[in-house]
Homo-oligomer: A and B are copies of this chain.
Amino acid sequence: MTEWWQDMFEIVHQEKTSGARVGKLTTHHQVVDTPAFMPVATKATVKTLTPQEIREMGTQAIISNAFHLYLSPGHELINEAGGLHKFMDWDGAIFTDSGGFQILRKEFKFKQNNQGISYVNSRDGKRYMYTPEMCMEIQGALGSDVAMVLDDCPPWGSTRDEVRDSVCRTLNWGQRSLDARCNDNQLVFAILQGGTYPDMRDVCARKLVDIGFDGYGIGGLSIGEPKEVMHETIRLNLTQIPPDKPRYLMGVGSPVELLESISLGVDIFDSAFPTRNARHQTVMTRHGQMDLRRSSQARDFRPIDGECGCYTCRHFSRAYIYHLFKESELLAMRLASIHNVHFLQDIMRQARVAIIEDRFIEFKDWFKQQYLSK
């Protein structure tokens, strides 16, 4: 029996001198060119932007959040609306994160056990259970193109014993998530955990690969650990994921980290980095990050980045955006968000071309030299 999703990932080109590869991930709504960067739309909106704008920046996939949409407005409501794509008017690919990571906030007073994660809903102050089965039912109802399994993400600094327990839960929940698959148009990706203990990572990855998923997310990174440890862990996990499966590094979005990870063989990324930074007045340029609050921008009539082709850079000066931020005008956040997401998507476009032309390492080093030069 060959289901459509068994051929859903095609590697178009593998670079000769690095792990970097260009691929095509076929989802129900959209073929996604990889390496791909997904802007974050936790609550069914990429903050401040319309789907039209996100599309114009070259975005093919976004990631929303099952747990947050379950809390509000509810997956049944979105299902009734015709699914998440229709609800938010996005016709590209949608990944939904399970919420295993997003539930780990003090406000939810979360507690894990083998059954799932219990949490307190602030609306009624009552404690509820969030299970792998629910998580898949929610994602099925949302109609996302890729569902992520419920995982248990141990905080940075957890002990071996804590991480061992966490891996057991992640494996158990991974299997149960797959068993609870309920939407034929949806791919299911596992999430690799194991903290930063190589043997735990190894066990977790091998066992999840044994179960067999449509793709693999590398989770639990970029949460406080040193960069070298993060890179080592990515490297290790990449040796364990079958090369013909899509590899998704979760929560990483700074330009240099994207390029480093692509060179190791990562295919998919998501991060709130570009949009969150934009709302906090920080934008990216070829020559590094720029703080739009600096008063030197007040009379700077150049665009954010002279080489950038985004709507913001084609039409507005740093001085104008500085003025808007100073006056707390919402357009400021929009213009900065447009630029930042466009900037990252532009890097991804360039990365894909460079891989095809077997000069990705050269491109990465050139970009890094410029970006880190200041």
Shortest beta-carbon distance, A169 to chain B, in Å? 30
| A13 is an interface residue with CB less than 8 A from chain B | no
| A88 is an interface residue with CB less than 8 A from chain B | yes
Contact B319 A81 (CB under 8 A): yes
| A102 is an interface residue with CB less than 8 A from chain B | no
| A175 is an interface residue with CB less than 8 A from chain B | no
Name the interface residues of A47-68: CB closer than 8 Å to any CB of B: 47-52
Note all chain B residues with C-beta closer than 8 A to A316.
89
With contacts A323-B72, A327-B72 taken as known, whether A317 is within 8 angstroms of B43 at the C-beta atoms is no
| A77 is an interface residue with CB less than 8 A from chain B | yes
Contact B331 A301 (CB under 8 A): no
Shortest beta-carbon distance, A58 to chain B, in Å? 18
Set B43, B73, B315, B317: member contacting A319, Cβ < 8 A? B73
Shortest beta-carbon distance, A214 to chain B, in Å? 29
Name the interface residues of A322-353: CB closer than 8 Å to any CB of B: 322-324, 326-327, 329-331, 333-335
Contact B43 A320 (CB under 8 A): no
**Chain B residue with Cβ nearest A44:** B323
Give Cα A51–Cα B315 distance, bound, in whole angstroms: 10
Note all chain B residues with C-beta closer than 8 A to A44.
320, 323
| A16 is an interface residue with CB less than 8 A from chain B | no
Contact A81 B320 (CB under 8 A): yes
Note all chain B residues with C-beta closer than 8 A to A82.
301
Set B48, B80, B331: member contacting A45, Cβ < 8 A? B331
